[in-house]
Amino acid sequence: MADISRLIRRFVAYGSVGATGTLAQYALLVVLVRYFAIPAPLASMLGAVLGACVNYVLNHRFTFGRTASHRQALPRFLTVAGLGIVVNGTAMIVLVDHAGMNYLLAQVCVTALVLLLTFVLNSVWTFREAPKRSCQIMDK
């Protein structure tokens, strides 16, 4: 039961921190679409890159309590973020370009999907604490 409670608390923290990155993503998405006529899927992916940068710093510090070193966590985070950006862009293409959905409504749907995917991967891989190495002195 303690593990479930800890997982729920971590997910709430992840979602809360993610809201900051998501706000940055949506702001850039809207600016690029409205003022620069960038296609929504591309603008969404560019916004996701910005959001990922914000999320790494905040998740490393607050959500996962710095359990992993930057040397370990950053390459893993970039891998997960890259996967999330690809899923984000692909889903936006399907929803906006093929299904004709409004880009903001599509982004809300895609955000939920990417949130769940990246939470699981970041929890079990990116910010997992590295196992402690033990030193044993062998008798000769």
Burial 85-119 (b: 16+ CB within 10 A, else e): bebbbebbbebbeeeebebeebbeebbeebbeebb
Residue-wise pLDDT for 14-29, tens only, equals: 888 889 999 999 999 9
Q: How far apart are CA 106 and CA 93, in angstroms?
A: 9
pTM of the predicted model as reported, rounded to 2 decimal places: 0.79
Residue-wise pLDDT for 73-99, tens only, equals: 889 889 999 999 999 999 999 999 999
Domain ranges of the chain: 2-126
Q: How far apart are CA 107 and CA 29, in angstroms?
A: 9
Q: What is the dihedral of CA 119, 121, 124, 129, to 10 degrees?
A: -90
Return the amino acid letter for 75: P
